[in-house]
Structure 1
Amino acid sequence: MAKLKWGMIGGGEGSQIGPAHRLGAQADGLFEFAAAALDHRPEQGRAFAQELGVSADRAYGDWREMLQAETARPDRVDLVTIATPNSTHFEITKAFLEAGFNVLCEKPMTMTVEEGEEIVRVAEASGRICAVNYCYSAYPMIRLARAMVREGEIGKVRLVVTNFSHGHHGDATDADNPRVRWRYDPAMAGVSGQFADCGIHALHMASFVCDDHVKSLSADFASTIPSRELEDDAMVNFRMAGGTVGRLWTSSVAIGRQHGFDIQIFGETGGLRWMSEQPNQLIYTPVGGRTQIIEKGEGGIHEEAQRLSRVAVAHPEGFPLAVANIYCDLADAIRGETRDGLPGAEDGVRSMAAVHAAVESAKGEGAWTDARPPMFR
């Protein structure tokens, strides 16, 4: 089977997320890295793309040059990944979708709900795929948790508790570090800091595993380092359309926590727990029974988890391979085999609606607020 052609915008030299995409896209031999516009500095971007093996004629200076040239090519790329600063996601995603390209956009998909709804409409009109990189949902044991919930193995879900809390921005003396400062600057990050950066991963995970959508929420935001305009800690209570109660904590000042992303799902007949720092295990407790540890790669687990497990039981699989699983699902989808777990534009706009609802709620001292995009109310 011929490789699909892949292009990348952003994620250049020194980028945090760029290497994960390049590893993930090429891990299974499904995509060829064919085109790139990697840096806002044209010459540096062209040079780095060629270092990575992109031919000189497809190493572009910016995304507009890439869009124009790739649109005219008979061998245009099959998928474009957008890993640029948040404020540029909407414009670039919309332009490539309208030109007939499939897109994988880093989160957040847009800065506003209105932009998110526009992307949903453009994707539908173009007939192209618009995926959003909620890659944690592609860990094999998260796919297993979703399958167990869907198949009723823990009964109706009553409660979901999730958090994404780390301490890497907890040093006030580091507040002016450019890699940190932009996350709390409304001009660059938008209306929310930590919740929009990490909290929406936890919120999407709750929706994904519970197979449900957040309907309303109540939020409390705090900027614990006074120089920050946006929050670095947030607590969000939420209710899902199916009645599930949700609790979410997200923080960047929790010194001592490293990655700190986990989720617990409590149903009528059992409970599940997954932790990103031990991603190969799903902890399952049936009501009245003993706690069990289900290992990635062991026999007899759900096909969806087996499909995305690459190495034998007891061997770790980490973040880049979770990203690779997103690319596996994208390759299948581009070839016409739809994958149910692939996060799309609807997930992107629901996340942005929840961010804006949380900001409104926090300003209103925790008032319960509708978290749904207007188009889905």
Structure 2
Amino acid sequence: MRLNWGMIGGGEGSQIGPAHRLGAQADGLFTFAAAALDADPAKGREYAQRLGVAVDRAYGDWREMLAGERNRENRVDLVTVATPNATHFEITKAFLEAGFHVLCEKPMTMTVEEGEVIVKIAQSSGRICAVNYCYSAYPMVREMRAMVARGGLGRIRLVVANFSHGHHGDAGDADNPRVRWRYDPAMAGVSGQFADCGIHALHMASFITGDEVARLSADFASTIESRVLEDDAMVNFRTAGGTVGRLWTSSVAIGRQHGFDIQVFGETGGIRWASEQPNQVWYTPLGGRTQIMEKGEAGLSDDAARLSRVPIAHPEGFPLAVANIYVDLAAVIRGETRDGLPSAEDGLRSMAAVMAAVESAKAGGAWVDARPPMLR
């Protein structure tokens, strides 16, 4: 039996909305049952109905959706929050407190204190609060995690992560509303590019290594003068286990399209994955030749095999990585166990890292504690 799914934000023209709608419905696990898709109530209702949502469940805003769904016999089982950053906390908190499971876009909150509130509500209510770090759901990323966990690289010495693109490099595009909000503190919070893309790379570093970021040093730059928040950042970090971390993230790297890649170097080998070639992992054993491991080939970990959807040599893209998040969410909602689903604690750790990076950058790159107080 399908679960009922609802979406807030992600309206017509949204960058992330289509990926969620494709992902949630790719496996027949969820029915798109309710929506509040746009800041303009009329546009949101009309678009939701065009997507197949019933008239009485095409809502004008999230408060109307909460009131309409709260006491329905067939109410939604899962709500996705895909609104601007500044609204994530209020909406996620309200739906968790009303007993709904929530998948929130990142960053989960605007402050560490808000993040701790969400973690506590999720813990006390028994509701799932997941955060959409969907890159961790690519099959070959799961293979990298399994390789590290079974000791295939020995002790991890170094992680180098990068998420850089050039799509905001045109100063003449500064007033484009799809770009402008990302550098506006009222909408994006205290950080621009690092909170937008950098925390994907930081989460990936922790996800693959099974280790958490303990402290960091950051350098932020606004290379386009009209921007209040940074469009380029370099972050050095150390994990609780002593691994050295290097992370670069930028939105003004003209010529880079979607430059998310990560390298993990251990005592006995190194591995590399890039989002633009997501079906492969490059593996080099100490003293040996570089090998290319392919999605779908024999001998991969159970998790990598489980999340591979199409035969070897056929591409799997971003919407199917999002779909893998929904596959695991459906399983957990039904009472099964799934390892690797990004949680509210992951969202909290990311926000703590954002706040630490902002503090460090203002202090000229001073090393600061990157852990949230409740998880120290």
TM-score by length of 1: 0.99
Q: State the Cα deviation string for residues 7-41 of structure 1 (Å, max 9, x = none).
A: 00110111110000000000011101011111111
**Residue of structure 1 in register with 2:313 after alignment:** 314
Alpha-carbon separation, structure 1, partners of 2:151 and 2:49: 50
Q: How does 1:10-159 map to 2 (within 5 A)?
A: 10-159=9-158
Alignment pair present for 1:228 and 2:242: no
- Aligned structure 1 segments of 4 or more residues deviating by more than 4 angstroms: none
Q: State the Cα deviation string for residues 134-187 of structure 1 (Å, max 9, x = none).
A: 000000000000000000001110000000000111111111211111111111
SS at structure 2 position matched to 1:57: helix
1:321 maps to a residue whose letter is L
Q: State the Cα deviation string for residues 252-300 of structure 1 (Å, max 9, x = none).
A: 0101100000000000111000000000001111111111100000111
Question: How many corresponding residue pairs?
Answer: 376
**Residue of structure 2 in register with 1:303 after alignment:** 302
Alignment pair present for 1:352 and 2:351: yes
2:161 maps to a residue whose letter is T
**Residue of structure 1 in register with 2:202 after alignment:** 203
Alpha-carbon separation, structure 2, partners of 1:196 and 1:296: 30
TM-superposed deviation, 1:57: 1.1
1:199 maps to a residue whose letter is G
Q: State the Cα deviation string for residues 96-150 of structure 1 (Å, max 9, x = none).
A: 0000000000000000000000000010111000000000000000000000000
SS at structure 2 position matched to 1:274: strand
Alpha-carbon separation, structure 2, partners of 1:189 and 1:91: 15
RMSD: 0.6
Q: How does 1:264-343 map to 2 (within 5 A)?
A: 264-343=263-342
Moved more, 213-222 or 177-186: 177-186
2:261 maps to a residue whose letter is D
TM-superposed deviation, 1:324: 0.2
Alpha-carbon separation, structure 1, partners of 2:368 and 2:28: 45
Alpha-carbon separation, structure 1, partners of 2:247 and 2:30: 36
**Residue of structure 2 in register with 1:162 after alignment:** 161
2:293 maps to a residue whose letter is I
SS at structure 2 position matched to 1:73: coil
Alpha-carbon separation, structure 2, partners of 1:154 and 1:293: 16
Q: Percent identity?
A: 81
Q: State the Cα deviation string for residues 45-71 of structure 1 (Å, max 9, x = none).
A: 111111111111111111111111111
2:96 maps to a residue whose letter is L
**Residue of structure 2 in register with 1:263 after alignment:** 262
SS at structure 2 position matched to 1:201: helix
**Residue of structure 2 in register with 1:248 after alignment:** 247
**Residue of structure 2 in register with 1:373 after alignment:** 372
Moved more, 178-187 or 245-254: 178-187
**Residue of structure 1 in register with 2:183 after alignment:** 184
Alpha-carbon separation, structure 2, partners of 1:3 and 1:374: 39
Alpha-carbon separation, structure 2, partners of 1:164 and 1:324: 22
SS at structure 2 position matched to 1:206: helix
Q: State the Cα deviation string for residues 60-99 of structure 1 (Å, max 9, x = none).
A: 1111111111111011111000001110000000000000
Q: State the Cα deviation string for residues 171-227 of structure 1 (Å, max 9, x = none).
A: 111112111111111111110110001000000000000111000000001111111
Alignment pair present for 1:364 and 2:363: yes
SS at structure 2 position matched to 1:311: coil
Alpha-carbon separation, structure 1, partners of 2:191 and 2:172: 22
Any gaps of 5 or more consecutive residues in structure 1?
none
SS at structure 1 position matched to 2:161: strand
1:273 maps to a residue whose letter is R
**Residue of structure 2 in register with 1:219 after alignment:** 218
1:63 maps to a residue whose letter is W
2:29 maps to a residue whose letter is L
1:163 maps to a residue whose letter is N
Alpha-carbon separation, structure 2, partners of 1:229 and 1:49: 34
Alpha-carbon separation, structure 2, partners of 1:70 and 1:181: 33
2:258 maps to a residue whose letter is H
